[in-house]
Amino acid sequence: MSLNKQVKIILIETTNSGNIGSALRAMKTMGFDNLCLVSPKDFPSENVETMAANARDLIGRIQVTQNLDEALEGIHFVVGTSSRMRKVPWPNEALDKVAATIIMEANIKKNIAIIFGREDRGLTNDELQRCNLHVNIPANPEYPVLNLAMAVQVVCYQLYIESFRELKSSSQDHWDVPMAEANHIQRLIEHFIEVAEQLEVFNKGNPRQIGARIKRMFTRIGLDEMEVNFMRGFLAAVEKKLEDK
Amino acid sequence: MSLNKQVKIILIETTNSGNIGSALRAMKTMGFDNLCLVSPKDFPSENVETMAANARDLIGRIQVTQNLDEALEGIHFVVGTSSRMRKVPWPNEALDKVAATIIMEANIKKNIAIIFGREDRGLTNDELQRCNLHVNIPANPEYPVLNLAMAVQVVCYQLYIESFRELKSSSQDHWDVPMAEANHIQRLIEHFIEVAEQLEVFNKGNPRQIGARIKRMFTRIGLDEMEVNFMRGFLAAVEKKLEDK
């Protein structure tokens, strides 16, 4: 599978050329570079370049067509974005629920088009009926109206993360210091309690099971070795001052 | 839990006021309405209104502050958005992996701030060190640079869909003490560093960015009020001994 080759983003009759540039930038941030404009109202335009920012290298590759048929050539699976409920209900799925399906279609080598409608009226019924699937972006029912380029960003983001599921590792894998052993943390806790007792801080308004609270605090943090060593050094320095006294 | 009441979106030193309007619209589409601007470069501005579209009813409710401290008042859990890798790795998680954690924090009644940095330079190290958690939006490694308002849209979308997932239960649901406010933890950290300096423990084999490490240790733990109070009492007792000497 090569998502960026197989997925084509189609914008129909876009009015605001700034949205075209923003959509292109949004696509590039998620690794997509295949944009098609059906009868854009204002293209080419300087606004596209301005809003595309560092995706402007992709402007030259934008496909422009007269109609949707032409745009859908070579496409196997058509997804329409839509928030409106239709008279004739179409399979309409929430983006987060359906991203896996779209990725699966790509996995079996289908070319996929994702169609976004006009800023003011979305997709026509004719256009929606060309789609295998309607997708809605889950949104505030009182104001579900995402800007066009925002919608492109969210759809591309959801497909991007879906394409990586199970591949991603957490940053904690790259912690710069090894995690401390439980026994070292245990010794730190004992040391801390000892010092706290010497400082007589236990009974000064800290009544409620403070020993248990200290243990809980230091164990749940997940300390690394350097942190344990530093805290031990800190406590040793306090003790030394107490002895010197 | 009431996500829109508990989550505050903070934009720091935003240059382009259009981005403020776009961010507000993005927030509203996902049910968020709590926006705070720290030292915006161009606000109020007509651009805000234009780009906010039908979210312009929320403009009057935007909070504007001089600094981050003020913005974080009453906040318990601070999330910083960041794509950069740091010298001292902070817990940095992919948005899609960590949304559940953020929702869980809201479930236990924490107020949450999500901070977005400047258009050109993101967040400073100081700002990032105020955060309990760093979040990155998974993106094309060759061009991971989302427009500011796009980043707000994606983060709000991910939290919105996550808030509908089945509520996961956690032992933290039954925490017995209220969580500490971010500003209280900040003061604890400053106090700790002061005492550590007086004890001269910084240069004894603890060379590597120890200040940042201390901040990281105390912010990632998620301290409750009693723990903060106890640690402050502990440090005060150490200081007293140092003075007596």
Strand stretches in A27-110, DSSP E? 35-38, 63-65, 77-81, 92-94
B28/B90 same-domain check: yes
Question: Are B54 and A145 inside 8 Å of each other by CB?
Answer: yes
Of A25-29, A128-132, B52-56, the poorest mean pLDDT is in: A128-132
B85/B54 same-domain check: yes
In this complex, the residue of A55, A96, A170 whose CB is nearest that of residue B97 is A170
Q: Scanning every residue of chain A, which has its alpha carbon at the shortest distance from the alpha carbon of B205?
A: A230
What range defines the domain where residue B220 resides?
176-244
| Contact map slice: B 98-127 vs A, CB within 8 A | none
Domain boundary among A145, A164, A183: A164
B33/B138 same-domain check: yes
Domain boundary among B124, B154, B172: B172
A150/A194 same-domain check: no
When pLDDT is cut at 50, 70 and 90, the band that residue A218 belongs to is confident
- Does residue A219 belong to the interface with chain B, where contact is any CB pair within 8 Å? no
- Does residue A147 belong to the interface with chain B, where contact is any CB pair within 8 Å? yes
Q: Scanning every residue of chain B, which has its alpha carbon at the shortest distance from the alpha carbon of A197?
A: B234
Strand stretches in chain B, DSSP E? 7-12, 35-38, 63-65, 77-81, 92-94, 112-116, 133-136
Please check whether residue B178 is in contact with residue B217, taking contact to mean a CB–CB distance below 8 angstroms: no
Question: Are B230 and A206 inside 8 Å of each other by CB?
Answer: yes
Walking along chain B (245 residues) 10 residues at a time, the average pLDDT comes out as 90 98 98 97 96 96 97 94 70 89 88 96 91 92 94 97 67 68 90 89 66 83 86 91 79
Q: What is the pLDDT of residue B120?
A: 93
- At residue A99's C-alpha, the angle toward residues A98 and A103, to 5°, is 120
The answer to whether the Cα torsion of A24, B116, A174, A99 is positive or negative is negative
B132/B60 same-domain check: yes
Q: What is the pLDDT of residue B156?
A: 98
Using the structure block, give the residue that is written with the tokens 């009868």.
A39
B152/B180 same-domain check: no
Q: Scanning every residue of chain B, which has its alpha carbon at the shortest distance from the alpha carbon of A156?
A: B139
Domain boundary among B140, B172, B204: B172
Query: Which tens digits make up the pLDDT trace of B162-182?
Result: 998 755 444 445 577 888 888
How close is the nearest chain A Cα to the Cα of B59, in Å?
15
Which CATH number do you get for residue B210? 1.10.8.590
A72/A179 same-domain check: no
Query: Which tens digits make up the pLDDT trace of A96-128?
Result: 989 998 998 888 878 999 999 999 999 998 898
Question: Are A29 and B238 inside 8 Å of each other by CB?
Answer: no
What percentage of residues in chain A have a pLDDT greater than 90? 53
How close is the nearest chain B Cα to the Cα of A69, in Å?
30
User: What is the domain count for chain B?
Assistant: 2
Cβ neighbours around B44 below 10 Å, total = 14
| Whether the predicted pLDDT of A170 surpasses 90 | no
Cβ-in-10-Å burial (0-12, 13-18, 19+) of B15 comes to: middle
Cα distance between residue B53 and residue B37, in whole Å: 19
Question: Are B157 and A138 inside 8 Å of each other by CB?
Answer: yes
When pLDDT is cut at 50, 70 and 90, the band that residue A178 belongs to is confident
- Does residue A138 belong to the interface with chain B, where contact is any CB pair within 8 Å? yes
Question: Are A54 and B143 inside 8 Å of each other by CB?
Answer: yes
Pairing between strand A112-116 and A77-81? parallel
User: Which residues of B fall within a CB distance of 8 Å from A157?
Assistant: 137-138, 154, 157
ipTM of predicted complex: 0.78
Question: Are A53 and B88 inside 8 Å of each other by CB?
Answer: no
Give the predicted TM-score (pTM) of the model.
0.79
B220/B107 same-domain check: no
Which CATH number do you get for residue B100? 3.40.1280.10
B26/B131 same-domain check: yes
A26/A117 same-domain check: yes
Question: Are A230 and B88 inside 8 Å of each other by CB?
Answer: no
A105/A179 same-domain check: no
B75/B52 same-domain check: yes
Helices (H) and strands (E) in chain B, counts: 10, 7
Q: Scanning every residue of chain A, which has its alpha carbon at the shortest distance from the alpha carbon of B197?
A: A234
How close is the nearest chain B Cα to the Cα of A94, in Å?
10
In this complex, the residue of A54, A175, A230 whose CB is nearest that of residue B145 is A54
